[in-house]
Amino acid sequence: MYWNVDVRSYRHREYPEGYSVRKVTAADLSEADIEKLIAAVGDSFEGYTSHYSSNPLLARELVTDGYREWAESSIRSSSGSAYVLERNDSVVGIATVKEIDSVPEISEIELAGMITEEQGKGLYGHLLHGVVSGAQANHQQQIVISTQSHNIKVQRAWASSGFRPIRSIETSHCVKR
């Protein structure tokens, strides 16, 4: 399920006291900082059910490693960045974002999540707000994001943050017996 938001009409919200979002690129980060961000992605996506986890040819225990690898690739990419939701300088949420080379006015949130201990506290919308604010500062027009259709909880958060559904794509894994 693909969703988007027009950043020009996005409604702003205040961050809770003690929380902030900052945009970072690989050039801004030490190797230890990159590892912290990748660990946060791993924690966020541990046990997440996706089309990767439903493919019997992929080892379930490697799915989270795939998300970590994807996040690292995005952060290190010349067109990638991360938005980090922090509380007292500790990472509590992360969104990896790539600018779409062929359409420079649009960015895609590739991965976004909260660490386990911060999930369910209503903070995810603040992470999204940070990404939208960054897109506004870059004079972009839209942000897109996607998830599996069964991931209703995150889609509700997107709807609450002003995102709208735009496309549905079905993925199938054909496995030869």
DSSP type of residue 112: E
Write out pLDDT tens, residues 138-148.
889 999 999 99
114: nearest Cα among 7, 32, 42, 13 = 42
> What is the β-pairing status of strands 106-114 and 2-6?
unpaired
pLDDT tens-place string over residues 59-87: 878 889 999 999 999 999 988 899 999 99
Say what the pTM is.
0.91
Helix, strand or coil, per DSSP, at residue 140: coil
**CATH top class, domain 2-167:** alpha beta
**How many angstroms separate the most distant Cα atoms in the chain?**
55
Contact (Cβ atoms closer than 8 angstroms) between residue 43 and residue 115: yes
Q: Which residues of 36-47 are buried (b: 16+ CB within 10 A; e: fewer)?
A: ebbebbbbbbee
Return per-residue pLDDT of the chain as tens, 177 residues: 999 999 988 877 789 999 999 999 999 999 999 999 999 999 999 988 887 777 788 887 888 999 999 999 999 998 889 999 999 889 999 999 998 777 878 999 999 999 999 999 999 999 999 999 999 998 899 999 999 998 999 999 999 999 999 999 987 778 777
Contacts of 53 (CB under 8 A, 6+ apart): 60, 63
In the chain, where are the structural domains located?
Answer: 2-167
The rounded distance, in Å, linking the Cα atoms of 96 and 75 is: 7
The torsion angle over the Cα atoms of residues 30, 34, 35 and 40, rounded to 10 degrees, is: 140
Three-class DSSP category at 20: strand
